[in-house]
Amino acid sequence: MLAALLIAGLCAACGSSSGGPGASGSRSGHGATSATNAADSLPRAHPPAVEPVAGAPGGSGAGARVPRSASVSVSSPSQQRSLPQPESIAEIRRQLSQSGMTASPDQATLTSGGLAIAPVGAPAQVQEVIAAGNQIARLPYIWGGGHMTYEDTGYDCSGSLSYVLAAAHLLDRTMTSGQFEHWGRPGPGKWITVFATDGHTFMYVAGLRFDTVALAETGSRWSNRSADEPDLSSFVERHPAGL
């Protein structure tokens, strides 16, 4: 019963382009306006790819070094209190190593710790989406999180998708769930498919689901949950061009 209440709460509060009580535009309920104004705050650098990324160009793989300047941090000099932090690259590597799993050619792999291993044959942008998803996979759900600022202490459904898609340069601003209904190209994609309604949004990346509902159930936004659910008939399917 508790899990059902958590899931229902997340779906109900996870974004609307109308600016009403379900809007995910900001903590103050400004909706799409605040999301658009947040474009200037998007960093030029994006999170580094998470190892193993055997299919990444330029020889990125198990021995690759990650520049410190590219890592994500949600804290700032003006914030004196302790804040939840994204997964560190070292922790992600440790979990991937302990999992004993290897990357498959075209299907992402879910580790026991709730992280995703990118497929060997995935395009660079898909690997970047998965890497960014790992960085925020276990940060808490916060209504409006990820809209007023790109790097936040927690994210709602549309804020989560905005973060990972912007990290792969597939998005240049934060968007609400209602706006995702009209984003990209119609229909499912080969690698990435976004499901959106005015009240909730999530996506599949190389076969794994990235969704705040999964966060409520397992503590990670990544899951193996199937897309063959009857309630998905109300969702619009979109995908980034070429993916």
187 CB contacts (<8 Å, ≥6 apart)? Answer: 237, 238, 239
Mapping DSSP to helix (H, G, I), strand (E, B) and coil, where does residue 239 land? strand
- pLDDT (tens digit per residue) in 137-175: 999 999 999 998 888 999 999 999 999 999 999 999 999
Q: What is the topology classification, in CATH, of domain 2-60+85-239?
A: endopeptidase fold (from Nostoc punctiforme) (3.90.1720)
Residue 41: predicted pLDDT:
47
- pLDDT (tens digit per residue) in 46-94: 443 333 333 333 333 333 333 333 333 333 333 434 455 666 666 766 7
- pTM here? 0.63
Average pLDDT over residues 202-224: 95
Q: What are the boundaries of each domain within the chain? A: 2-60+85-239
Residue 58 tokens, joined: 């330029």
Residue 33 tokens, joined: 């306006």
